[in-house]
Structure 1
Amino acid sequence: MAKTDAKKLMGKTAAPGLSGFENVEVATVDRREQRKRDQAMGLVPFAVKINSDLVLQLQTLAKERDVELNVLVAEVLAKGLAD
């Protein structure tokens, strides 16, 4: 249990890319809080395995449209299922 507590503490204090000597405040969202927000919005994690070429196409399209990948995938699925 002590190891788990230590890992949690280290994860909260050490942000990637920061040395710890800088006086920088980083806004982080707790994973539990993020899950609660997602659930309130009706979002459900849904992992799938698809061809890497399709992933690249989706990522490129998301960048072109300047939207998050999750938003784009939801849009593409909704359009595909509407047919």
Structure 2
Amino acid sequence: MKKADLAKSDAKKIMNQMGARTASFGAGDAAPVDRREQRERERALGLVPFAVKLNGELVAQLQALAKERGVEMNQLVDEVLRKGLAG
């Protein structure tokens, strides 16, 4: 076989091995997230999905504040809404 043919053969073998894997890209050793279980856990905590449309500048401020405090966006929005409704 020519050198180019060997390279093609090796490439095909690698592509077949990659295609045979069922794990998604970047999954690593982490357990896959079961969305149904995630929703059940959130429901048990009393959490309800609530979509709203906000001004882009406001979202940027919220994201910056969440990053600054080191909390998730859900936690920050919960806190801000509770303070706003209490006052």
* CA root-mean-square deviation: 1.4
Q: Which has the higher helix share?
A: 2
2:34 aligned with 1:30, yes or no?
yes
2:49 aligned with 1:40, yes or no?
no
Structure 1 gap ranges (5+): 1-12, 19-23
Post-superposition shift, 1:81?
A: 0.3
- Of all paired residues, the percent bearing the same amino acid is 67
Post-superposition shift, 1:39?
A: 0.3
The code of the aligned residue for 1:54 comes to: L
Structure 2 gap ranges (5+): 1-21
Number of residue pairs aligned between Structure 1 and Structure 2: 66
Separation in structure 1 between the aligned mates of residue 76 and residue 55 of structure 2, nearest angstrom: 17
2:64 aligned with 1:63, yes or no?
no
Separation in structure 1 between the aligned mates of residue 52 and residue 74 of structure 2, nearest angstrom: 13
TM-score (norm 1): 0.73
User: Between Structure 1 and Structure 2, whose CA radius of gyration is higher?
Assistant: 2
The code of the aligned residue for 1:65 comes to: R
Post-superposition shift, 1:26?
A: 1.9
